[in-house]
Amino acid sequence: MAHIVIIGAGLAGLPTAYELRHLLPRQHKITLLSNTPMFTFLPSLPWVGLGLTHLEKVQLEVGELVTKRGIEWLPEAVIQLNPYTQEVHTNAQVLEYDYIVIATGAELALDVISGLGPDNGYTQSVCNPHHALMARDTWQNFLQNPGPLVVGAVPGASCFGPAYEFALLADFILRQRGLRDQVPITFVTPEPYAGHLGIGGMANSSQLVTKLMADRGVEVLENTAITRITSQDIILADGHQLPFRYSMLLPPFRGPRFVREAEGLGDAKGLIPVLPTYQHPTFPSVYSAGVVTQLAPPEVTPIPIGVPKTGQMVEAMGMAVARNIALELGAISAQPVSPTLEAICFADFGDTGLLFLADPVLPDPETGKRRRAITLGGRWVSWMKTAFEQYFLAKMRWGSAVPWFERLGLRAMGLSLLETIPPTEPHPIPKDVLSH
């Protein structure tokens, strides 16, 4: 019997647990660990932060979902991981494992810039449920006393979609309330250009995003670094100061403390290096899925930024990890697989939206191109995002990571979550060796 421990019950961890339970015989034990009892559909948090939906509508109680499906549930925080002895320490106990999947999501590096973040600073965030609720309460106060609004991201950030959504949704709400003329909106981003998105842009994303911002009267500061934040101003690297009454800025992400403190497990940011199987190159018992996974950026940018890990990418990582562990345990017969990192993303802007399709998300390192890159806009994108939110929550209730009809739908669009890793070619034996 093998014991597989999964750390994290979010967009990567919960589907991975479901897929492992589907693939593995019941004699193999699966334990799901999380420092929060709730699953949250994170792409909906900009809506929560702006008061457009309630947090409880995008959350599920994890314990009651997984225990009835033969997955052990431990709502405990991990404080230490020893990949050499294959032990994970929580606040309450020590667990031994045969395989471990680190799917924690990100820790927010709010300490990299003075004044950043709602906990010990002056800006808001929609990167976790707690911060989204703080952003919502502050937003309601802001509507009673409007003024300059600054939205964007700081150097090192990697997920820019929520910033674009927040800025354009805020514009939409302010226009509905007749307050837009009282609120100058500035968008600040370390991206080389608007619509770069941390992946070198795709299709006509830059043109569409730039036009949307211009049409809505949003001033865009591209390739701009924020260095410090006070209670009233955001200070840029060139010394320019942006006054604000409300600001939502996305921080950099890093891996959790227990990864950063485990020798040889992660990089300097606590992100975990992986092989094509999403197995750690040094510790074969360790797999990684989601935001905590190390992905190399497609290009070096003037201001450092990271690579986003979107929901579909994260889900594909988890499916690959589950299948490769099942293969290691002899539960299935197949070739090892790798996530394709193809993605469809929906960005809601209120009365319109953008759909991004990247196949794959990261362009080919040699050609700099993708097989396909599509950006489409329209009001229908907002409806599609709402429909996808409800579908994803439903399948988490069902206990199914990727149902057969979802796989069929992806295939119909020419997309897939996984691809087979070609077998390694054996090195030919020199003739002079054979002659002996």
Sign of CA dihedral 399, 359, 250, 295: positive
Catalytic pick among 81, 116, 259, 345: 345
Residue 345 designated active-site? yes
Catalytic pick among 71, 110, 132, 159: 159
- Alpha-carbon distance of 328 to 326, in angstroms, equals 5
Task: Give a three-class secondary structure readout of the chain.
Answer: CCEEEEECCCCCHHHHHHHHHHHCCCCCEEEEECCCCEEECHHHHHHHHCCCCCHHHHEEEHHHHHHHHCCEEECCCEEEEECCCCEEEECCCEEECCEEEECCCCEECHHHCECCCCCCCCCECCCCHHHHHHHHHHHHHHHHCCCCEEEEECCCCCCCHHHHHHHHHHHHHHHHCCCHHHCCEEEECCCCCCCCCCCCCCCCHHHHHHHHHHHCCCEEECCCCEEEECCCEEEECCCCEEECCEEEEECCEECCHHHHCCCCCCCCCCCECCCCCCECCCCCCEEECCCCECCCCCCCCCCCCCCCCCHHHHHHHHHHHHHHHHHHCCCCCCCCEEECCCEEEEEECCCCEEEEEEECCCCCCCCCCCCEEEEEECCHHHHHHHHHHHHHHHHHHHCCCCCHHHHHHHHHCCCCCEEECCCCCCCCCCHHHHCC
* Cis peptide upstream of residue 360 (ω within 30 degrees of 0): yes
Tokens representing residue 67 in the block: 């225990």
Q: Are 46 and 163 in contact (CB under 8 A)?
A: no
Residue 127 designated active-site? no
Annotated catalytic sites, by residue?
159, 345
